[in-house]
Structure 1
Amino acid sequence: MQPRSRRTFLTLGLLVTAGTALTACTEPHDDTPAGAARRPDPDEPIRLRAVAATDTLLAGYDALLPQAPQLQPLRAEVAQHRAALQPTTTAPPTVTAPPSTAPTTLTALAALEHQTAQSRLADLGAASPQLARLLASVSTAGVLHAVALGDPGTTAPAAAPSPSPDPATAFQDALSAEHAAVYGYGVVGARLTDDQQRTDARTTLAAHQSRRDAWQRLLTTSGATPTAAAAGYQLPFPVTDAPAATRLAAHLETRLTTVYADLVAAAPAPHRPLAADALRDSALRARHWGATPTPFPGLPSTPTPTPTPSITP
């Protein structure tokens, strides 16, 4: 048996990335003395665009809430996104949206969530590391909202794209996490009894193997030595039956959302979309295996809430 000291754990403590030292997207404290000139925030234009897109979403939810009150929890999460994205150097405006622009069906709202989620990623390269991580998390939440609303076109791809060559040692921890996921899904597949679940587990295992291989190629091309897989991994809890296997799959994917949210902040700007894609994929898989979605997938804590402006449709 592999000595305990050489095992790699799948638990929270050892599945961390280079981005762990970054704080969890809390609002910055303003220490500007009274009367002093305020330093411009380079993220402000990005935040304003993100808030404007969020306002459109909120107007869409408010237009449908009277006939679909079950949308309230999703609407509340979107309001949390707005509070987290709001620039701290400007006063929160009152939101107005023409009634004609609001979606009139759940299908249209799902499409708007999906479209908005994709648009969040356009600013990843220009944003600061912490804001990039927040944008990726909010984008992932939007994809989960679209799925909850019935968007049939929102699925996690079975294989990861190959990253373009570039030094990216921030991917070492992501590679280690994928090694652990590959091992974990071997256990998951061995304990499942339902044929469809076993097929899903095999498909997901192949996806993690593909992403593992992509990170290995990136690191090798950049001149780094990829982290090798450990001989064995200690599971976070005993996995002796199918229910425990599905919980392990949800645990693995949830942990990977944290890994990839941190990687969005830690990776070079050209590679942030790759990390954001991985964050989205793991969040979708976590939902598939029964994990409860959160307003900010991958973030260790939610941003400090601020009052949400009223929306006048």
Structure 2
Amino acid sequence: MPRTRRDVLRAALVTASLVVPLAACGPGYPEDPDSLAPLVAQAEADAEAARTLAGRLGGAEGEAAGRVAEVRTEHAEALRREVERANRPAAEPAANGTQPAEAADLAALEQRLTAARESALEQLPEASRYRAGLLGSVAAGCAAVQQLSPKLGAGQPDPLDPVTTGTLEPEAVTALQEALAAEHAAVWIYGLASAYLPADFDKGVDAGAAAHRERRDASERVLTAAGVTPQPAEPAYVPTAPVTDQASAVALVAVAESDAATAWRGVLERTDDAPLRTMAAHALLASATRATSWRAEANEQPAAVALPGTAA
């Protein structure tokens, strides 16, 4: 018997009633594991290894290892919150490929921190904007805590090759202008601080000022290439506190580096441009490492911030 139009419509309704509940039973999120899950496991293993090592070492080296444990614990918590927010499944433990939770000495912790920094930076170019900022801060936190001891591999990031990019979105332009303003301020602050610091600070002052001038010039080139007029420097800047002696000068430089780190994380969170993200991540790491050195000189605790660039 031929099917009528009513029969066809009735069959379609029955089929739809079966399909909808089945779709509703889906997981509600991508079923592939979250790419941040291995970084969570890596941070947890690093923290456990550092805690165990701190208990064995004692003294200054034990304190450094203990701070590594605290920093990597904060990293694990921040990364886990993002994984949970995204509602993605965690990777199976065997698939994480993390190192055993042990470290023989600070040199072994250096290897772990370097691996963690590289793992975060590898994901940064393709990450969402918020995740790019988070990954940049995690990488910078690893670099910052390494400054606590030469045995942790203390040292500035390698020089960055010139960055070339094209047209930038308005949001990225605003963020880069803010970073440029922070670089202008940092150059000025290093000049002010140098008048209050003894000669044994000259090397650090010269290196820091040169790094910020380089970053300033690079920012201006990127903006100009994008058809935007770079923001000029102010004639002078108002310090967060009066600078009257060595202690206040050191504290002000530490603030300038922290402000620069915050500005560069802001760039990471407001651009999808891969070359600009590379530049911003490099700047964030560089300011984080210098900030640690200046904070340590100022006896500020903690000297190494876990997530540099995170607004207070």
TM range (shorter): 0.7 to 0.9
| Cα deviation, residue 65, structure 1 | 4.5
**Distance of aligned partners of 1:73 and 1:189 in 2 relative to their CA distance in 1, 3 Å threshold:** closer
- Paired with 1:176 and 1:83, the residues of 2 have a C-alpha distance of 32
Amino acid at match of 2:35: I
- Paired with 1:166 and 1:98, the residues of 2 have a C-alpha distance of 38
Correspondence 1:230 to 2:234: yes
- Tell me which of 266, 269, 286 is aligned to 2:291: 286
**Distance of aligned partners of 1:107 and 1:153 in 2 relative to their CA distance in 1, 3 Å threshold:** closer
Correspondence 1:68 to 2:57: yes
Structure 2 equivalent of residue 297 of structure 1: 308
Retained in 2: the 8 A contact 1:55–1:95? no
Structure 1 equivalent of residue 6 of structure 2: none
| Cα deviation, residue 125, structure 1 | 1.4
Structure 2 equivalent of residue 242 of structure 1: 246
Q: Matches of residues 163-174 of structure 1 in structure 2 within 5 Å?
A: 163-168=163-168, 169=173, 170-174=175-179
Correspondence 1:83 to 2:83: no
| Cα deviation, residue 77, structure 1 | 2.6
Amino acid at match of 1:81: H
Retained in 2: the 8 A contact 1:167–1:223? yes
**Distance of aligned partners of 1:43 and 1:164 in 2 relative to their CA distance in 1, 3 Å threshold:** farther
Amino acid at match of 2:270: A
Correspondence 1:53 to 2:42: yes
- Paired with 1:60 and 1:152, the residues of 2 have a C-alpha distance of 14
| Cα deviation, residue 274, structure 1 | 1.4
Number of residue pairs aligned between Structure 1 and Structure 2? 266
Amino acid at match of 1:295: A
Retained in 2: the 8 A contact 1:260–1:298? yes
Amino acid at match of 2:155: T
| Cα deviation, residue 214, structure 1 | 0.4
**Distance of aligned partners of 1:105 and 1:52 in 2 relative to their CA distance in 1, 3 Å threshold:** same
Q: Matches of residues 148-159 of structure 1 in structure 2 within 5 Å?
A: 148-151=148-151, 153-157=153-157
Retained in 2: the 8 A contact 1:61–1:75? yes
| Cα deviation, residue 159, structure 1 | 5.6
- Paired with 2:237 and 2:68, the residues of 1 have a C-alpha distance of 37
Q: Matches of residues 2-21 of structure 1 in structure 2 within 5 Å?
A: none
Query: Which deviates more from structure 2 when the two are superposed, residues 145-154 or residues 270-279?
Result: 145-154
Structure 2 equivalent of residue 135 of structure 1: 135
Structure 1 equivalent of residue 191 of structure 2: 186
Larger radius of gyration: 2
Gaps in structure 1 of 5+ consecutive residues = 1-34, 302-313
Retained in 1: the 8 A contact 2:250–2:294? yes
- Tell me the secondary structure at the aligned position of residue 235 of structure 1: coil
TM-score, normalising length: structure 2: 0.75
- Paired with 2:232 and 2:150, the residues of 1 have a C-alpha distance of 40
TM-score, normalising length: structure 1: 0.75
- Paired with 2:51 and 2:91, the residues of 1 have a C-alpha distance of 17
Retained in 1: the 8 A contact 2:187–2:213? yes
Structure 1 equivalent of residue 224 of structure 2: 220
- Paired with 2:192 and 2:44, the residues of 1 have a C-alpha distance of 44
- Paired with 1:51 and 1:98, the residues of 2 have a C-alpha distance of 10
**Distance of aligned partners of 1:205 and 1:42 in 2 relative to their CA distance in 1, 3 Å threshold:** farther
Structure 2 equivalent of residue 145 of structure 1: 145
Report the identity percentage.
27
Q: Which has the higher contact order (CA 8 A, sep 6+)?
A: 1
- Paired with 2:252 and 2:100, the residues of 1 have a C-alpha distance of 46
- Tell me the secondary structure at the aligned position of residue 45 of structure 1: coil
Deviations 1:105-156 (A, max 9, x none): 2211122112211221001111111111111111111112233253464422
| CA RMSD of superposed structures (Å) | 2.9
Query: Which deviates more from structure 2 when the two are superposed, residues 157-166 or residues 168-177?
Result: 157-166
Retained in 2: the 8 A contact 1:253–1:283? yes
Structure 1 ranges of 4+ moved more than 6 A: 91-101
Query: Which deviates more from structure 2 when the two are superposed, residues 43-52 or residues 111-120?
Result: 43-52
